[in-house]
Amino acid sequence: MDLITAATVNAPQIAGLHGLLWRLCGQKDPTTLPGVADYVLRQLLGEVVPDLSGPWKTEKQFTAWLGLAPGSRQSGKRRGSQKRSRNRAGRFFSVIARSVGRSGDKALGGFYRRLKGRRGGLVANLALARKLAEMFWRLMVHGRAYVEAGLKK
């Protein structure tokens, strides 16, 4: 049992939680994103504000703040790596990505598996977490809902 499933099973039963979160998010429903349940959304909103357009003007700024942006440090021919630390909200997106990556019928699960085969599980998890964070930012700022495409067979 992964952390999201364990958190959902052990989540406190709050009457009308979905409606409260919906009103808090400005009549937008982030639970349409894969892997985001009411309890996970409550934890995530405890770390970030519902109005994401104020502190972060672009989704790139938001993912960089989360610690999910790719780091590159280069000066001439010299290359180095810069350690990126994830804050608590970035770690929530990583946990969500781990559970979505294991899903067999989701398009994002297929993205995770393709990238895992080429670059490894850690890189695939980070890339999927970034993708989920970008979708979350787009939904909260512009109201663009996620529509599941499914896997093409």
Q: Tell me which of 53 and 88 has the higher pLDDT.
A: 88
pLDDT for 127 equals 92
Domain assignment present for residue 85? The answer is yes
Domain assignment present for residue 45? The answer is yes
pLDDT, tens digit, 9 for 90 and up, residues 73-88: 666 666 666 666 778 8
Domain assignment present for residue 101? The answer is yes
Which long-range contacts link 86-89 to residues 24+ away (Cβ below 8 Å)?
87/47, 88/47, 89/44, 89/47, 89/48
Number of folded domains in the chain?
Answer: 1
Is 97:129 a contact under the CB 8 Å cutoff? yes
Domain assignment present for residue 152? The answer is no
Domain assignment present for residue 153? The answer is no
Domain assignment present for residue 93? The answer is yes
pLDDT, tens digit, 9 for 90 and up, residues 88-139: 888 889 888 988 888 777 788 888 999 999 988 888 999 999 999 998 888 8
Q: Which helix (H) or strand (E) holds 96?
A: helix 88-101
Residue 22, pLDDT > 80, answer no
User: What is the extent of the structural domain holding 106?
Assistant: 16-142
Domain assignment present for residue 5? The answer is no
Residue 44, pLDDT > 80, answer yes
pLDDT for 128 equals 93
Domain assignment present for residue 49? The answer is yes
Reading the block at residue 20, the tokens are: 């409260």
